[in-house]
Amino acid sequence: KRIQQKVAEGRWEVTGGWWVEADTNLPTETSFYKHAELSRVFVREHFGKDIVVAYLPDSFGHPATLPKILATTGFKYFIFCRPNPREKPDLPGNLFYWEYEGHRVLAYRLKHHYLQYGIKAPETVDAERLLRLLKDEEYSTNPVNCYFFGVGNHGGGPAIAEIEFYNQFIAQQPADEVNYSTCLRFFQEASQIPNIPVYRGDLHMHAVGCYSVLRDVKHTMRHCEQRLQFTTRVLEMAGKSEQLLVPLWKKTLFNQFHDILPGSCSRAAAEQAQRELGGVISACADTAYRELKSMSRGAP
């Protein structure tokens, strides 16, 4: 309820629109549509809105087909970090329309990542480092820019000392030149920039070594996806709703998280993923067998 209140006040932005911040290289297309479908239901129920900002700043690169999947599931905008400029130097800029088969999203690669490493223990700010980032030449050239700050997903939001630093920085700038905002507002204003370039192709390569480890988790995930799709068809044949599989889909999608499925998680997380995915496969097999057996009994 506290989160709902802050969202209603416009002080908490809901972004992402997927069940988790998933890896985008390994799951099947069906999984991506399930991410969007289940999340759309959840966000409408709890927050009464739709999400149009796809948010994948920590995922390890993206396939060329992703713009079509995003656009056809209601997304207009896409924010990411990887690959960085050294890994992908041929992008036309950090702001561009990313397109596939006539479908597009307005994409933005965060100029300075989502972590600024400006906090020092105990609760002090590396002001010199942060000021260098804020005085980036690109920020003075482009009419609209997006800058993330805070500890990110490595321990929480911004520290109090960091907020105080940015409050002071904002107060020293011309009126309305710099302020706290949202990803949605950034994209709405950035979309008015003339002659935004278009890019067609994949966004690789980053953390490629992840994709050659934890074969068992990857192999089991693919079996999960196949079993879920097969069981969905069985339920359709039996005239039953695929909603029966929603808890199994949620567990599967959760384990597509970008630090589990690629292989950059802890040993304990990998072992837990194996157990959970094995449970999904078992539940699908039981459901499919039960329904097929029931249909066969009633066959002439």
Predicted pLDDT at 12: 92
Predicted pLDDT at 288: 97
pLDDT, tens digit only, all 300 positions of the chain: 999 999 999 999 999 999 999 999 999 999 999 999 999 999 999 999 999 999 999 999 999 999 999 999 999 999 999 999 999 999 999 999 999 999 999 999 999 888 877 777 667 888 999 999 999 999 999 999 999 988 766 656 788 888 999 999 999 999 989 999 999 999 999 999 999 999 999 999 999 899 999 999 999 999 999 999 999 999 999 999 999 999 999 999 999 999 999 999 999 999 999 999 999 999 999 999 999 999 998 876
Task: Label the pairing between strands 124-125 and 119-120.
Answer: antiparallel
CA distances 21 to 111, 241, 244, 255, Å, are: 20, 27, 24, 10
Predicted pLDDT at 150: 83
Task: Label the pairing between strands 77-80 and 53-56.
Answer: parallel
Predicted pLDDT at 300: 67
Predicted pLDDT at 33: 98
What residue has token string 């905008």? 77
Predicted pLDDT at 159: 83
Indicate the length of the chain as a whole number. 300
Predicted pLDDT at 280: 98
Predicted pLDDT at 114: 86
Structure tokens at 84: 């960085």
